[in-house]
Amino acid sequence: MDKNKLLKNDNNNFKTKDLLKDVIKTSTFKVKLKKNNTKMW
């Protein structure tokens, strides 16, 4: 039972890490876009 709980937690941690990576990617992308837009205008 404990082992299962640990496994589930590990899975959740993995998912959150992936989510965080995605968020970081999109936010940096948005920042880049903003910078590009200001340069263009």
Tens-digit pLDDT profile for residues 1-41: 577 887 788 878 788 888 888 988 888 888 887 777 766 54
Q: Which domain holds residue 41?
A: 1-41
Provide the domain count of the chain: 1
- Going from the C-alpha of 16 to that of each of 4, 21, 32, the distances in angstroms are 18, 8, 24
- The whole-angstrom separation of Cα 33 and Cα 41 is 12
Tokens read off for 32: 């880049």
pLDDT of residue 38: 67
pLDDT of residue 40: 52
pLDDT of residue 29: 83
pLDDT of residue 24: 87
Q: What is the pTM of this model?
A: 0.47
